[in-house]
């Protein structure tokens, strides 16, 4: 029996289950597996089963931000007044990394902040924004003693950097990628001595631009070189490219309806109020413009979990749809 047939069968079963679990929104594609020494695709270079991690530490922008950026407990993901930001999130429920922590029972420590870039000094138009550099410095200043073998670090940047490049020019895209690699290297060293990383990318939200490809290619290649130089025992990572999910929903192959959505648009008309919001947010791809709804965050987590399971070295060139 072919692996494609098995995957489609699994997705069909999942779709039925998600009718209850996720309001009918389900994955209609599988991961696009590649190799660490190839072009950017979904890869798992040996990251352990997610259930082995008792702590997840997240860095990123509004796609990961849980509303409390100091690593402490998050507020419940519920509405407060007319704000569309449930518990401070740019969505109406848990974010993708929070979902993974909930799935595995891990302690979730979130340092992500809306609008964050890799390094604000690279982008004059984002000079006052949060960045990866300062998020890592805050984490380090807290002097945590986390077990490297049971702690997963997630990294999600690129959207705001590539948005800034449209105003500030694309020359710093390679430098932005190097910042990502440098901050990961900093966490790999003492006192943190991190080992396990999950890097996700969605810089273009389904679109492809030269600056974004330069950035993503440099991150992807740099991760591989870092592992070669340090050894897989000292640095294990997975890379997940959400481009495939976004393209599948926003494009015609297979299109948003196959995932269970009624619209690929946003539900709210403003990031400041729910006044005028749609009547059926569960079946919109976005909640706030450009920001996934809680059902989309759920399938983002599902996509990652499937990619980490399937895109291991023994499945070096699989590509499922």
Q: What is the pLDDT of residues 152-173, one digit of tens each?
A: 999 999 999 999 999 999 999 9
**Contact between residue 79 and residue 87 where contact means Cβ atoms under 8 Å apart:** no
Which stretches of the chain are DSSP H helices? Answer: 3-21, 96-104, 132-141, 159-168, 173-188, 210-230, 243-250, 294-310
266-269-271-272 Cα dihedral, nearest 10 degrees: -150
Q: pLDDT tens, 183-237? A: 999 999 999 999 999 999 999 999 999 999 999 999 999 999 999 999 999 999 9
State residue 20's pLDDT score: 73
**Domains of the chain, first to last:** 41-253+293-311 (3.40.50.1110)
319 pLDDT more than 70:
no
pLDDT average, residue stretch 148-152: 98
d(CA 282, CA 267): 9
Instruction: Decide if pLDDT at 317 tops 70.
Output: no
Task: Compute the average pLDDT of residues 9-13.
Answer: 49
Q: For residue 281, is pLDDT > 90?
A: yes
Peptide bond into 260 cis (omega under 30): no
Q: Are 91 and 294 in contact (CB under 8 A)?
A: yes
Largest alpha-carbon pair distance within the chain? 55
**In contact, 182 and 137? CB cutoff 8 Å:** no
Q: Report pLDDT digits (tens) over 258-280.
A: 999 999 999 999 999 999 999 99
pLDDT at res. 95? 98
The pLDDT score that the predictor gives to residue 221 is 98
Q: Residue 316: its pLDDT value, please?
A: 41
User: How large is the average pLDDT for residues 127-132?
Assistant: 97
Of residues 160, 216, 157, 151, the one with CA closest to residue 187: 151
What pLDDT does residue 313 have?
80
pLDDT confidence bin for 21, thresholds 50/70/90: confident
pTM over 0.95: no
What's the rounded Cα separation, in Å, for the pair 27 and 17? Answer: 11
**Cβ–Cβ < 8 Å for 163, 117:** no
């Amino acid at each position: 029996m072919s692996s494609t047939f098995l995957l489609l069968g699994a997705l069909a079963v999942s779709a039925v289950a998600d009718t209850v679990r996720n309001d009918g929104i389900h994955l209609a594609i599988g991961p696009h597996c590649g190799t660490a020494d190839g072009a950017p695709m979904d890869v798992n270079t040996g990251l352990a089963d997610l259930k082995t991690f008792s702590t997840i530490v997240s860095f990123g922008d509004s796609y990961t931000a849980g509303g409390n950026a100091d690593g402490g407990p998050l507020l419940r993901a519920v509405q407060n007044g007319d704000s569309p930001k449930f518990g401070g999130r740019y969505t109406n429920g848990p974010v993708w990394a929070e979902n993974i922590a909930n799935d595995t029972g891990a302690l979730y420590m979130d340092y992500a902040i809306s609008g964050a870039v890799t390094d604000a000094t690279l982008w004059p138009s984002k000079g006052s924004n949060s960045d990866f550099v300062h998020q890592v410095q805050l984490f380090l200043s807290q002097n945590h003693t986390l077990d490297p073998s049971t702690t997963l670090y997630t990294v999600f940047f690129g959207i705001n950097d590539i948005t800034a490049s449209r105003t500030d020019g694309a020359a710093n895209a390679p430098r932005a990628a190097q910042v990502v690699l440098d901050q990961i290297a900093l966490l790999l060293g003492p006192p943190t001595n991190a080992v396990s990383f999950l890097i996700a990318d969605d810089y273009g939200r389904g679109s492809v631009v030269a600056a974004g490809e330069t950035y993503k290619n440099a991150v992807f290649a740099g991760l591989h070189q870092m592992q070669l130089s340090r050894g897989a025992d000292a640095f294990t990572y997975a890379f997940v490219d959400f481009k495939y999910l976004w393209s599948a929903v926003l494009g015609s192959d297979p299109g948003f309806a196959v995932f269970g959505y009624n619209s690929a648009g946003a539900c709210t008309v403003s990031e400041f109020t729910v006044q005028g919001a749609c009547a059926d947010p569960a079946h919109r791809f976005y909640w706030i413009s450009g920001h996934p709804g809680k059902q989309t965050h759920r399938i983002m987590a599902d996509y990652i979990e499937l990619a980490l399971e399937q895109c291991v070295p023994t499945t070096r060139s699989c590509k499922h749809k």
